[in-house]
Amino acid sequence: MLARLASLLLLAAATVSAADKPNIIFVFCDNLGNGDVACFNPLTKHRTPHLDKMAAEGMKLTSFYSASGVCTPSRAAAMTGCYPRRVNLHVSNKGTFVLQPVAPKGLNSRETTVAEVLKTAGYATAIIGKWHLGDQPEFLPTRQGFDSYFGIPYSDDMTKDKMPDVWPELPLMRDEKVIEAPVDRDYLTKRYTEEAIHYIEAHQDKPFFLYLPHAMPGSTQHAYSSPAFRGKSANGEWGDSVEELDWSMGEILAALKRLGLDEKTLVIWTSDNGAPQRNPPQGSNLPYKGWGYNTSEGAMRMPCIARWPGKIPAGTECRELASMLDLLPTFAALGSATLPANPLDGHDIRPLLFGEAGAKSPADERGFFYYHMGQLQAVRSGPWKLYLPLEKKLVSGKGRSAQAPLELYNVRDDIAEDREISAAEPEVVKRLLALAEAARIELGDEGREGAGQRPAGWVENPTARSL
């Protein structure tokens, strides 16, 4: 009898524990800039009423950073809580920006993803959307802690016509099987949204982690959207795509309310990197300087909204430094999960999200580092961003600029970077240079190995994902 009672008490405790764990939905757009959303840029041409309402019901993080200005490194950081250089996904196997189809390189199976962390705490886990951390079976999400996968394994611009002898038709996968090729990109946002809602409905009775990395607005000159949104915006195809992404977020939030999950669910919405420079312009990173694919504020300072009714104070703004590196440790803390044994670069930012009085960024002491393809180019701590002096600044996969000077800006208050103030703040410059040197020792720099770097995954004789 006593044994039976003890068993029931343990079961009840486990039930209470599970009930206290929030569902977590992490929505990740592709190449969408800060200036593309009305609540971050009132002058945008785009109508984003659902995101605007989400921000009014939650918190805008206005110093929230990607760990890279390009796709693969950014996603590696979001999944592992580590700088891309630490996990050696700062460049592809070809020395280019991002991984391409049929690449032998990918996220090492020995790395611990946020999905693997949350699974140990009893979470169901799913990814619906763009992976881009390796398309070989060993690198797929189902081998990295996700119970299920529905999406494309890399960018929407990586289509067979680009390299017909090597790349397959753009594949849509379910788990580890290609189910369509080529997938119709016009319907990706719609299908991902429907799949996400179906997943939420099917897993409403236990804690779940849903990672929703959209393919749009995307990596091509042609942004895709379904017929219901095509031609409806004031900004061409790009605007149509952004407005469908806004619709998608509205549908998901409505589903949470309908299912009674609203106050049980943390939703984080952001983008992997800023909008790229194109002619004519499509996306916008205003009010920040620069375009995607580098270490400018426009490339790495992301729009971010966090919503959790009753936990995150509504209608608030957090100006403290935070980044995608912080997602894994924060989610782990919320889910009472054990952190990986390997060193992380992110921090638990629950005090910032919950609006605790006097909460400060835990990243300020160690700094936040702006790497581009392995070259350390800038460091931020508190309000300060120091552009490091470089003899030859790497500006693309093959090109370099002339000598780049040392420059210091207060990017919290001078967001347009109009006032260079290094001469007036020598102690700040000295401290940030010391932080940069510590990063070089641990993470490395161009031509210099870091003591804390770990190998990427690698397979011999990679094969294409095709029907």
Please identify every residue annotated as catalytic: 71, 132
CA 175 → CA 152, 191, 295, distances in Å? 11, 16, 34
Q: Using CA atoms, how far apart are residues 13 and 383, in angstroms rounded to an integer?
A: 44
Q: Using CA atoms, how far apart are residues 159 and 144, in angstroms rounded to an integer?
A: 25
Contacts of 384 (CB under 8 A, 6+ apart): 408, 409, 410, 411, 425, 428, 432
For residue 62, the tally of other CB atoms under 10 A from its CB is 18
For residue 278, the tally of other CB atoms under 10 A from its CB is 12
Q: Using CA atoms, how far apart are residues 376 and 398, in angstroms rounded to an integer?
A: 16
Structure tokens at 203: 């897993």
Structure tokens at 456: 């990427």
Contacts of 341 (CB under 8 A, 6+ apart): 112
Q: Treating both helix axes as pointing N-terminal to C-terminal, what angle do 49-56 and 236-258 enclose, rounded to 10 degrees?
A: 50
CA 304 → CA 65, 74, 212, 267, 459, distances in Å? 9, 14, 14, 10, 35
For residue 412, the tally of other CB atoms under 10 A from its CB is 16
H/E run at residue 200: helix 188-202
Residue 153: closest CA among 145, 136, 1: 136
Angle 149-68-76 (CA atoms, 0-180°, nearest 5)?
30
One-letter amino acid at 145 equals G
